[in-house]
Amino acid sequence: NQTQQLELFPEHRVTQMLFKEVKNAAELRRSAVDGQINGALVNPTMLVSPFQVLVAANKALHLQKIGKMKTRSLYSEIIFNLSPTNNISEAFKRFGISDGDESVMVVLVHSQDESQIVSDIAAKVDGLQVPVAEVSSLSDTAKIKKLYKVTPREEKCGTLEDAVICRMATKDVV
């Protein structure tokens, strides 16, 4: 697991867990929809890095605090924030998990001492947990570049992650 504290919201921690060879994606997705899993289930092939998730979580908490979330829960807001567009259903389609998926990134926001919740959710996943940093090896960069409309010109100014983060951070005003 990778757990990080958010500087702006010191009472919150973000935990990311990455699973490969997942056999029960459909069941997990249903549990999340039914509210039995209190976390965001993200499609790791659309992620460039764990940092991207951290940026989305920070923004979600910020919008929650000021009452300006675009979706109904903190977890759906995290998924929405990952997307470059303001289309909510498209964000879920691309960045949420689908029934046949073989890998899942589980994202949890919790207070300091909730290791029980973290391990309870981990136990629901029928798959192989791997280090979160491995998410970069699962990235579908061609698909990511297409969805975020990243051009070769822009890649001269920085990494694909830079381009993705910039889109996420500015999508509400462009």
Partner 1 sequence: MTQEKSLAAPHFLSNAVLIKQGAEARVYRTEFLGKPMIVKERFPKRYRHPALDEKLTHRRTVQEVRSILRCRKAGICAPVVYFVDYISHCIFLEEIMSSLTVRDHIASIQQSGSCKEQELEYIADRVGQILATMHDEDVIHGDLTTSNMLLRCGLEDGDMEDMVIIDFGLSYISALPEDKGVDLYVLEKAFLSTHPNTEALFERLLKTYAASSKKSSAVIKKLDEVPQLTLSRN
CA atoms of 84 and 67, how far apart (whole Å): 21
| Choice between 119 and 170, CB closer to partner 1 | 170
| Choice between 58 and 83, CB closer to partner 1 | 58
If we measure between CA atoms, which residue out of 81, 100, 79, 78 comes closest to residue 29? 100
| Choice between 131 and 158, CB closer to partner 1 | 158
The least distance separating partner 1 from the CB of residue 166, rounded to whole angstroms, comes to 5
The least distance separating partner 1 from the CB of residue 153, rounded to whole angstroms, comes to 4
| Choice between 54 and 117, CB closer to partner 1 | 54
CA distances from 107 to 88, 111, 158 (A): 18, 13, 26
The least distance separating partner 1 from the CB of residue 136, rounded to whole angstroms, comes to 15
Q: Are 117 and 31 a contacting pair, CB within 8 Å?
A: no
* Residues at the contact surface with partner 1, assessed by CB under 8 A: 4, 6-9, 51, 54-55, 58-59, 62, 65-67, 151, 153-154, 156-158, 162-163, 165-167, 169-170, 173-174
The least distance separating partner 1 from the CB of residue 102, rounded to whole angstroms, comes to 29
| Choice between 14 and 42, CB closer to partner 1 | 14
The least distance separating partner 1 from the CB of residue 53, rounded to whole angstroms, comes to 10
Where b means 16+ CB within 10 Å and e means fewer, 72-101 reads: eebbbbbbbbbbbeeebeebbebbbbeeeb
Residue 72 has φ and ψ, to the nearest 5°, of -85, -20
